[in-house]
Amino acid sequence: MQLVKQKNKTHVLEKVFAPYFEGKSHSLLIKGQPGTGKTTLALELLDMLKQNGLTNMGFYVSTRTSFNSLCLQYPWAKRFMHSENIMSFLNSNSYSSGSSAVIDARMGTADGLQDLVINALTTNKNSLIILDSWDSLAKEFDSNKRIKMEKSIGTISETQNGCVIFISEEPAESTVDYLVDGVVTLDRKKSDAVTMRTMSIDKMRATEIDKSQMVYTLYDSHFNILNNSAQHKYLNEKKLFDPIITRPGYISSGNSILDDILDGGFESGSVVFLELDQSLSDVIPTTILSNLISNTIRSNGSALVVAPPDKPSTNITKFVDGYCSDSELKNLHILSYDSDSSPLTMDPQKNYDIFNNKYAQLKKNAFPTVISIDYGKTIQGTTNPKKTNQFLMNQMRQIRKNNDVCMITSTTQQTDSSFCKSICDVHMNLSLKHGSVLLQTLRPFSGTFGMSLSVENNYPQYELIKLV
């Protein structure tokens, strides 16, 4: 099951690191505890620089792993890497332009490794060398010799227009921290049962840093920095939404990745609770809802949306209008306080009657219906929460009986979410961590996913990638 399209991975990586390397920086230190993805990031940078013509050759010098082990962990690296040992490398004068060598230095001496690095830099202009790990390579030198070697590597790298990436597991600042042009620290912590990986940019000389801390994942053995896009780009040309046909007994979410996560989409007759972080932009949940709506009405179904008191009906229609045909849009019904055809009032009982009548009209046909209710805003607007909950309970029974799907949204800080949790079949949580939107599927539990907005197909949509 493929849970992400890899095309955006390179784009985000380039956006963060390309300006740094294009600015003629010649050294980078990647720090972090074991298992944080330091080697993964270094290999991704080597691949990026080669593909963009920013380096002619690459050398991965390892004191920890063999070429075969590296290829087992990173199958994609075989595309641009080949095996080499220390002795054959030291006895060779040059390598063919465009190649990248994995040099197994586990049996090398300290002096031999120093000769290797100097030789690689001096005989191959515009080359990139990854030293993994620098701690192991330099531990046999005393502090004075280590500083001298680090300065020599930096100087030669600059004069040869090359670049050196140091990988280190030393948590404290060392001499190399002060000598390199850039320092990146990778971290991994558990937060609310979620393993969060964060990349901190400690320094990047002569490079503007828009965001110093980012969330990343090592899904599919790649270094994927989450795209923090929280707004859709303006579309000059709109396209009809591409409906997804899912298996019988299910209604598609309108997103193929979420359908895979939920093993086919939302089961017919289910109640979905989408719990929202208060700091989230309205665009995030509206995109999820509009994809569900567009997919349903483009598949001969209907949609009934109960808008909250503080949101006009256009909040939904602007995400659907133009992406469905005029005839299909007739199957979208919005109950709102600014509506002329089905206006809601400040009288809850009248609103219950309006909803019941509209839903009954829709069920005169045999097509499935998706319903959306903003529970938090509805409860805030009533003086009798118990009566509102009873009304919703009755409606959920009817929705299940009709094999429809209801999506209830509520902001965590607005109201007690225990009622929504008690009646839902699917529970999802949307939160904001370090500027990245995270979607967590809690019932059924499927993990946590980074979410980013996209208009690649000329309509608002979103992409998901699992945090691992």
The residues spanned by each domain of the chain are 7-225, 250-466
User: Does 322 score more than 70 pLDDT?
Assistant: yes
Q: Which CATH class is domain 250-466?
A: alpha beta
The predicted pLDDT at position 40 comes to 96
Stretch 425-442: mean pLDDT, rounded?
93
Q: What is the pLDDT of residue 166?
A: 94
**Tokens for 426?**
């699917």
Compute the average pLDDT of residues 178-197.
88
| Predicted TM-score (pTM) of this structure | 0.87
* pLDDT score recorded for residue 214: 92
Stretch 328-348: mean pLDDT: 82
Predicted pLDDT of residue 172: 79
**What is 7-225's CATH number, 3.40.50.300, 3.90.580.10, 3.30.590.10, 3.30.429.10?**
3.40.50.300
SS3 label, residue 171: coil
Task: Indicate whether 379 pLDDT > 70.
Answer: no
Pairwise pLDDT comparison (157 vs 172), residue with the higher score: 157
SS3 180: coil
Residue/partner pairs of 84-87 with CB below 8 Å, 24 or more apart = 86/112, 86/113, 86/116
Q: What is the mean pLDDT of residues 50-58?
A: 84
Rounded CA-CA distance 31/37 in Å is 10
At 18 the three-state DSSP class reads helix
User: What band does 414 get if pLDDT is binned at 50, 70 and 90?
Assistant: low
Contact (CB, 8 A) for 198 and 433: no
State yes or no: pLDDT of 165 exceeds 70.
yes
Least confident of 38-42, 225-229, 417-421: 225-229
Distance CA 423, CA 412 (A): 16
Taking the C-alpha atoms of residue 188 and residue 206, their distance in angstroms, rounded to an integer, is 28
Inform me whether the pLDDT recorded for 371 exceeds 70: yes
Token look-up 């090398």 returns 108
Q: From the CB of residue 104, how many other CB atoms can be counted at a distance below 10 Å?
A: 23
For residue 117, is pLDDT > 70? Answer: yes
Question: 336 near 251, Cβ under 8 Å?
Answer: no
pLDDT at 327 over 70: yes
**Is residue 221 packed enough to be buried (19+ CB in 10 Å), middle (13-18) or exposed (0-12)?**
middle
- Given a cut of 80, whether residue 87 has pLDDT beyond it is no
Given a contact cutoff of 8 angstroms between Cβ atoms, the answer to whether 461 and 291 are in contact is yes
Answer yes or no: are the C-beta atoms of 315 and 286 closer than 8 Å: yes
Which residues partner with 250 through β-bridges? 267
Position 6 scores a pLDDT of 42
Q: Give the mean model confidence (pLDDT) for residues 292-307.
A: 94
- Nearest to 138, CA basis, from 172, 102, 176: 176
Q: Is the CA virtual torsion 242, 264, 317, 457 positive or negative?
A: negative
The CA distances from residue 326 to 238, 323, 359, in Å, are 14, 9, 21
b/e burial code for range 400-419 (CB count within 10 A of at least 16 → b): bebebbbbbbbbeeebebeb
Average pLDDT over residues 337-344: 73
Dist CA 290 CA 241 (whole Å): 10
34 φ, ψ (degrees, to nearest 5): -55, 140
Q: Which range, of 12-16, 383-387, 425-429, averages the lowest pLDDT?
A: 383-387
Is 345 strand, coil or helix?
coil
Q: CA of 416: how far to CAs of 2, 181, 350, 457, in Å?
A: 36, 50, 25, 38
Mind giving me the DSSP string for 296-343?
HHTTT-EEEEE--TTS-THHHHTTTBTTB-HHHHTTEEEEBTT-SSSB
What is the pLDDT at residue 86? 44
Q: Is residue 374 predicted with pLDDT exceeding 70? A: yes
Across the strands, what pairs with 213?
200
Give the CA distances from residue 50 to residues 10, 25, 45, 396, in Å, rounded to whole numbers and listed in that order.
13, 16, 8, 56
Fold equal for 7-225 and 250-466: yes
| Phi and psi at residue 350, to the nearest 5° | -65, -40
Mean pLDDT to the nearest integer, 221-239: 78
- If you average pLDDT over residues 11-19, what whole number do you get? 88
94-98, 237-241, 370-374, 417-421: segment of lowest average pLDDT: 94-98
| β pairing state of 213-217 and 405-411 | unpaired
What pLDDT is attached to residue 271? Answer: 97
pLDDT tens digits, 258-290: 999 999 999 999 999 999 988 888 899 999 999
Distance CA 202, CA 212 (A): 7
Q: How confident is the model at residue 84 (pLDDT cuts 50, 70, 90)?
A: low
35-49, 271-285, 312-326, 377-391: which has the minimum mean pLDDT? 377-391
pLDDT of residue 67: 80
Calpha distance 363→360 (Å, rounded): 5
The pLDDT tens digits of the residues spanning 92-116 come to 554 555 567 777 666 666 667 777 7
Q: Is 225 helix (H, G, I), strand (E, B) or coil?
A: strand
The confidence score (pLDDT) of residue 417 equals: 81
Percent share of the chain, pLDDT over 70: 87
User: What residues pair up with 189 in beta bridges, in sequence order?
Assistant: 196
How many Å apart are CA 48 and CA 17, to the nearest integer?
9
Rounded to whole angstroms, the Cα distance separating 283 from 460 reads 10
Across the chain, mean pLDDT equals: 85
Pick from 385, 381, 383, 441: nearest CA to 416: 385
Q: Which residue has the tokens 């600059």?
A: 158
The pLDDT score that the predictor gives to residue 274 is 96
Q: Name the 3-class secondary structure at 255.
A: coil
Question: pLDDT tier at 3 (50, 70, 90 boundaries)?
Answer: very low
